[in-house]
Structure 1
């Protein structure tokens, strides 16, 4: 693929992710305008909005998979892996704001892939509990839900916080809480 074509595709995917997260009914023409490309460029590559959304899901899943791999969830010390994960996943969430709920409705293959990534995180949170970094009297599923919400809140409600600062705050809040 030519460099300009690759750049255009990346812009279409990012614009599609942003606009479709806000309004799943966004027309392809509006996505083309937001991406700064001609409408025919988008239509040539994606016959339907659903095809574009599937490509957006794949891009988000690819990025998420890379973050999971680089965090070394099964090998690195838990606190280190957790910090790496949060520092990596916050920018992914910001760049690809489509949700897994949207994936479930639109793309069963993407949903299965997301479920596999979720299982990796579940196992990691259980590892953190088993190693004593999380309270034993709190279900691992609750700890996972808290982690997900902290990441989501940091990614979307605090866009000016840098990924390293976000990771510091999320990890500290998850492991130590906000009380005295």
Structure 2
């Protein structure tokens, strides 16, 4: 794919993610206009809004997978891995603000892929508890959900915080709120 075509694709996907998160009924024409490309460019690549949405979800899953890989959740010390994860996942949440639950209901392969990513993070949180970084008396499902809400909050309610600052804030809140005493 040519460099300009690749750039246009990323722009369309990110614009689509943003607009579809705000209004799931956004038209392909509106997405094309907001992305600064011709409507035929979008229609040539995506047969429907649902096809575009599937591509957005795949891009979000791809980005999330890269973040989990780069955080080295199984090898790095827990505080380091947590911070790496947060520094990576906060921008992913900002770039791809769509709610993946909708896609998970419609696409079993995407659901399986997301479940595998979720299991990796959950295993990391269990490791953090086992190593004494998190309270052992708190259910890992609760810590998982709380971490997700903290990421979502800092990503969308505090957009002026850059990723490292946001990661510092979330890591401190998370480790001190759920940290072992």
Q: Work out whether the TM-score is over 0.5.
A: yes
2:6 and 2:138 map into 1 onto residues whose CA distance is: 46
Residue matched to 2:35: 35
Aligned length: 178
Partner-residue secondary structure (3-state), 2:161: coil
Residue matched to 2:122: 122
Map 1:1-180; keep pairs closer than 5 Å.
1-177=1-177
Unmatched tracts of structure 2, length 5 or more: none
1:97 and 1:37 map into 2 onto residues whose CA distance is: 21
Shift of 1:2: 1.1
Shift of 1:18: 0.4
Partner-residue secondary structure (3-state), 1:177: helix
Q: TM-score, normalised by structure 2?
A: 0.95
1:108 and 1:99 map into 2 onto residues whose CA distance is: 16
1:136 and 1:3 map into 2 onto residues whose CA distance is: 49
Shift of 1:23: 1.1
1:3 and 1:171 map into 2 onto residues whose CA distance is: 37
Partner-residue secondary structure (3-state), 1:24: coil
Unmatched tracts of structure 1, length 5 or more: none
Worse-matched range after superposition: 99-108 or 60-69 = 99-108
1:138 and 1:74 map into 2 onto residues whose CA distance is: 21
Shift of 1:103: 1.9
Which stretches of structure 1, 4 residues or more, deviate above 4 A after TM superposition?
none
Q: CA RMSD in A?
A: 1.2
Partner-residue secondary structure (3-state), 1:18: helix
Q: Is the 8 A contact 1:72 1:81 kept in 2?
A: yes
Partner-residue secondary structure (3-state), 1:65: helix
1:107 and 1:37 map into 2 onto residues whose CA distance is: 28
Q: TM-score, normalised by structure 1?
A: 0.96
